[in-house]
């Protein structure tokens, strides 16, 4: 693991190598067209390297390779114990090169290097190892029948899985999608976000080194219209697992309907509430968690706690603590070990976040902290962590997903009002509640419509718990936990007549 000292980070950066080709059929290859696009460092605006700009022809080759590998049985029909051992070897190689992978994610996504080293890569390893260990521990069932019959209910790998990834957690989302799909014996095609391809390509290079057969795992780099849509419409892709915006998620449902009715798994946006009751006793702890929910990963997180719904009697006291604690979060160079808030992913996204901030001002919300672009001379795309007070549910900043470091503060007087405000959104991915009363905690947790509700903390659970949402936040399945394996398998009934014929 990379030691978080400036000199060590600088030395590791100098020897860092970039893979810019696609990976199809066990080999790194250029796009059939020969086209490339550039990936940049959003903290400086400078080009890092060129990436293969793939299209439909490359998608067809990747699907062909994946299908051939699947039908060969080289991975799909081997003993699950063997798959487990190969996946664990892959995890060990990722651990060996985790410092390199952390640097790649920090450079491309503008993520603080400390967050990549201390959170993202360790969670990547946990996911890979947990799902690998599950490969030989998921049982079928025997149906209740008379002695004349035997009914077996078994799970078979579904076939070719396309994983379309977001840019906010590049390495970790590879593990969330790839590990359960591969553990169950499927072949896989990964489309990384065009902004963050480098760690995915390096991880798949390591997967090949670990012994995953050629064609079982492929990476097709490029853009949504040239790679994502052909994958979504391909007649020989059996599943698309997508994490990203609700808008693009709708497209994958359309592609499925207009092609082969492939299974579609969506983890989309969020506008997560953080409800703070008047009876909380440790406001410092609450403030610490609220800030982490709102500003970790620059707010570029589907489960970002962007709406603070706080009882009016403690709003002022909590807000004062939020301002003090947020000021201690250093904003700047993602490669500096002390940085806690890095850059936005790209210029267009920074401008989108700033537009939302201006909208909040125009609609009458009060900027308590931040609200401006920062470090403009760096060439990068930085936005100050911003806290709005006096927000109402009808304001744009309270309704729409911003995906940036913007916290909206709303107040309530009764529990019923708090529940109504928390549920006043088209999303339902996550929520947090803070209270010293267990009955209140239970009522709030049961009443809020969200896939994960954390109590007296900000959390998405751990690898054992399913992650996904209600309403426009999710569709068709869950990441993490044993449930993640279900969506990459088909249920088959085998019915035996035990009578002599």
Catalytically active residues, by annotation: 267, 302
**Backbone φ and ψ of 181, nearest 5°:** -65, -45
Tell me the β-bridge partners of 367.
Answer: 388
CB 423 within 8 A of CB 393: no
Distance CA 60, CA 234 (A): 8
CB 267 within 8 A of CB 246: no
> Measured on CA atoms in the order 398, 403, 407, 412, is the torsion positive or negative?
positive
Distance CA 292, CA 300 (A): 12
Three-state SS annotation for 341-402: ECCCCCHHHHHHHHHHHHHHHHCCCEEEECCCEECHHHCCCEECCEEEECCCCCCHHHHCCC
480 contacts: CB under 8 Å, gap ≥ 6? 127, 176, 461, 462, 463, 464, 465, 466, 467
CB 65 within 8 A of CB 215: yes
Token pair of 298 as six digits: 């620059």
> Measured on CA atoms in the order 179, 479, 168, 129, is the torsion positive or negative?
negative
Distance CA 464, CA 484 (A): 10
Distance CA 93, CA 87 (A): 10
Helix (H, G, I), strand (E, B) or coil at 31: coil
């Amino acid at each position: 693991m990379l030691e978080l000292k400036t000199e060590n980070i600088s030395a590791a950066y100098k020897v860092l190598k970039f893979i810019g080709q696609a990976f199809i059929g066990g080999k790194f290859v250029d796009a059939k067209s020969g086209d490339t696009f550039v990936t940049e460092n959003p903290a400086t605006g400078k080009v890092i390297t060129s990436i293969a700009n793939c299209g439909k022809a490359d998608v067809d080759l990747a699907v062909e390779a994946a299908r051939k590998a699947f039908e060969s049985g080289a991975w799909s029909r081997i003993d699950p114990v063997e798959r487990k051992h190969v996946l664990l070897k892959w995890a060990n190689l990722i651990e060996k090169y985790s410092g390199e992978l952390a640097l790649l994610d920090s450079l491309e996504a503008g993520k603080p290097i400390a967050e990549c080293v201390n959170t993202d890569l360790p969670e990547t390893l946990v996911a890979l190892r947990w799902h690998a260990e599950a490969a030989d521990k998921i049982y079928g069932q025997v149906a209740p029948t008379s002695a004349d019959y035997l009914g077996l209910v078994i799970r078979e790998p579904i076939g070719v899985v396309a994983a379309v990834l977001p840019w906010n957690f590049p390495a970790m989302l590879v593990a969330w999608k790839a590990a359960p799909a591969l553990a169950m014996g499927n072949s896989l095609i990964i489309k990384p976000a065009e902004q963050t391809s480098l760690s995915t390509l390096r991880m798949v290079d390591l997967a090949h080194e670990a012994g995953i057969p050629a064609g079982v795992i492929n990476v097709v780099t490029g853009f949504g219209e040239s790679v994502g849509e052909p994958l979504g419409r391909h007649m020989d892709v059996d599943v698309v697992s997508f994490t990203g915006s609700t808008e693009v998620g709708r497209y994958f449902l359309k592609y499925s309907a207009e092609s082969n009715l492939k299974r579609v798994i969506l983890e989309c946006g969020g506008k997560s509430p953080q409800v703070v009751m008047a009876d909380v006793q440790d406001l410092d702890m609450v403030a610490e968690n609220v800030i982490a929910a709102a500003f970790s990963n620059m707010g570029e997180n589907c489960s970002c706690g962007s709406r603070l719904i706080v009882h009016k009697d403690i709003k002022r006291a909590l807000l004062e603590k939020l301002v003090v604690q947020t000021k201690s979060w250093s904003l700047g160079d993602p490669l500096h070990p002390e940085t806690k808030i890095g850059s936005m992913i790209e210029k267009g996204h920074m401008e989108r976040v700033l537009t939302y901030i201006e909208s909040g001002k125009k609609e009458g919300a009060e900027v308590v902290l931040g609200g401006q672009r920062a470090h403009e001379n760096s060439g990068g795309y930085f936005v100050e962590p911003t806290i709005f007070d006096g927000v109402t549910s009808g304001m744009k900043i309270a309704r729409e997903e911003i995906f940036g470091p913007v916290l909206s503060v709303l107040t309530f007087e009764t529990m019923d009002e708090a529940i109504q405000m928390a549920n006043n959104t088209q999303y339902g991915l996550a929520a947090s509640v803070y209270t010293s009363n267990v009955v209140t905690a239970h009522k709030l947790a049961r009443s809020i419509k969200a896939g994960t509700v954390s109590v007296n903390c900000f959390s998405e659970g751990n690898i054992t718990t399913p992650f996904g949402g209600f309403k426009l936040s999710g569709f068709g399945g869950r990441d993490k936990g044993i449930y993640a394996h279900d969506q990459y398998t088909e249920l088959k009934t085998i019915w035996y007549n035990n009578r002599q014929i």
